[in-house]
Amino acid sequence: MRCLGKSGKLSAKPEDENFFTCAGPGAAANFRPTGSPMTGLPQQLQNNNNMAIIDFGGTKEEVITRKEFPMSRARKVLKNETIAIIGYGVQGPAQALNLRDNGFKVIIGQAKQFAKDWNRACKDGWVPGKTLFDIEEAVQRGTIIQMLVSDAAQRSIWPAVKRNLKAGDALYFSHGFSIAYHTLTKVIPPSDVDVIMVAPKGSGTSVRRNFLSGAGINSSFAVFQDATGRAKDRCLAVGIGIGSGYLFPTTFEHEVFSDLTGERGVLMGALAGIMEAQYDVLRAHGHSPSEAFNETVEELTQSLIRLVDENGMDWMYANCSATAQRGALDWKPKFKKAVLPVFKDLYQRVKTGKECSRVLNSCGKPDYQQQLTKELDQIGNSEMWQAGKAVRALRPKETAKLISKATLGVTGRKSN
Phi and psi at residue 7, to the nearest 5°: -75, -10
**Count of residues for the chain?**
416
The SS3 assignment for 23 reads strand
- What is the tens place of the pLDDT at every residue in 27-65? 343 454 444 333 444 333 343 456 788 888 888 888 999
Mean pLDDT of the chain: 87
Contact 335, 328 (CB under 8 A): no
* Percent residues over pLDDT 70 in the chain: 88
Helix (H) or strand (E) holding 400: none
DSSP E strands, 101-203: 106-109, 132-133, 144-147, 170-173, 194-200
Phi and psi at residue 203, to the nearest 5°: -70, 170
Residues tagged active-site: 175
Q: What is the pLDDT of residue 49?
A: 53
Report the C-alpha gap between 116 and 135 in whole angstroms.
16
How large is the average pLDDT for residues 365-392? 93
Evaluate if residue 122 carries a pLDDT over 80.
Answer: yes
- What is the tens place of the pLDDT at every residue in 184-226? 999 999 999 999 999 999 889 999 999 999 888 999 999 999 9
Helix/strand/coil percentages in the chain, nearest 5: 50, 15, 35
Maximum CA pair distance of the chain? 67
Closest CA to 109 of 121, 97, 124: 121
DSSP 314-378: HHHHHTS-HHHHHHHHHHHHHHHHHHHHHHHHHHHHHHTTHHHHHHHHHHTSTTHHHHHHHHHHH
**109-122 b/e with 16+ CB inside 10 Å = b?**
bbbeebeebbebbe
CB count, 10 Å around CB of 53? Answer: 8
Question: pTM, whole model, 2 decimals?
Answer: 0.81
Domains of the chain: 33-250 (3.40.50.720), 265-393 (no CATH)
**Amino acid (1-letter code) at residue 327:** G
The SS3 assignment for 413 reads coil
Torsion of CA 129, 237, 196, 34, to 10 degrees: 140
Contact 76, 190 (CB under 8 A): no
Torsion of CA 164, 170, 172, 178, to 10 degrees: 60
Report the C-alpha gap between 122 and 308 in whole angstroms.
39
Torsion of CA 194, 257, 278, 295, to 10 degrees: -40
- What is the tens place of the pLDDT at every residue in 130-175? 999 999 999 999 999 999 999 989 999 999 999 999 999 999 999 9
Q: What is the pLDDT of residue 399?
A: 83
* Percent residues over pLDDT 90 in the chain: 74
Evaluate if residue 1 carries a pLDDT over 80.
Answer: no
Q: What is the pLDDT of residue 305?
A: 92
Q: What is the DSSP letter of 20?
A: G
Q: What is the pLDDT of residue 215?
A: 87
- What is the tens place of the pLDDT at every residue in 297-306? 999 999 999 9
Evaluate if residue 12 carries a pLDDT over 70.
Answer: no
